[in-house]
Amino acid sequence: MRLFAAAHPPRAAREHLVRAMTEVRALTGTALRWGDPEQWHVTLAFYGDQPEGAVPDLSEHLGEVARGFPPLRVSLHGAGSFSGTTLWMGVGGETADLAELMRACSLDPDERARQRAHLTVARTSRTERTRQAKERRRGSRVRAHTGPELAHVVHALSVYDGPEWTVSEIRLVASELGRGRSGGALHTDMGRYVLTGA
């Protein structure tokens, strides 16, 4: 099973972002596949495919981490993209403490060095990626999809500043690709660990 550790924004923060993206979403047509707000999260560490027997060890690890960190205040702030295919919202607030929490959750030293706190909200649709690949094979310059390019969407959301919220727990989450709404991933909580800073 694919496992990761995450912090989940509360409903009020998710709804605020959904309202802020309404106009942009209407302009993008089918070029972007938007994530399910109920599944939105900030990944703290990605563990990849693991046997079911790994859950108790990861639970113990995350429980220890949670005891070492007090709750922290963050907000969703700004936007960006990875490789021109993934739209994400940045994180503001107590980002230095959040980075420390992410490092503590991770088991992979390489992952610790490259992590950036973000919340993925959309990806280029399979139809759009297929169209672009066909144009590349034909030697054509890849044209922008119908509606604004992802760079324009990033620009439109770059000024976003969401409400502050508290990261008060770490969740261990199992992800099943293709099993969620609209063919996305289905996320199931495997454990929750309250940040106590004890």
Could you identify the residue written with the tokens 């066909």?
Answer: 134
* Tokens, residue 183: 């063919």
Euclidean distance between the first and final Cα of the chain, in Å?
31
List C-alpha distances in Å: 22 to 8, 29, 188. 21, 12, 27
Residue 186 CB neighbours (<10 A)? 14
Distance CA 188, CA 170 (A): 13
Q: Which residues contact 93 (CB under 8 A, 6 or more apart)?
A: 72, 73, 74, 75, 77, 164
Query: Among all residues, which ones are annotated catalytic?
Result: 41, 118
- Facing residues of 166 across strands? 73
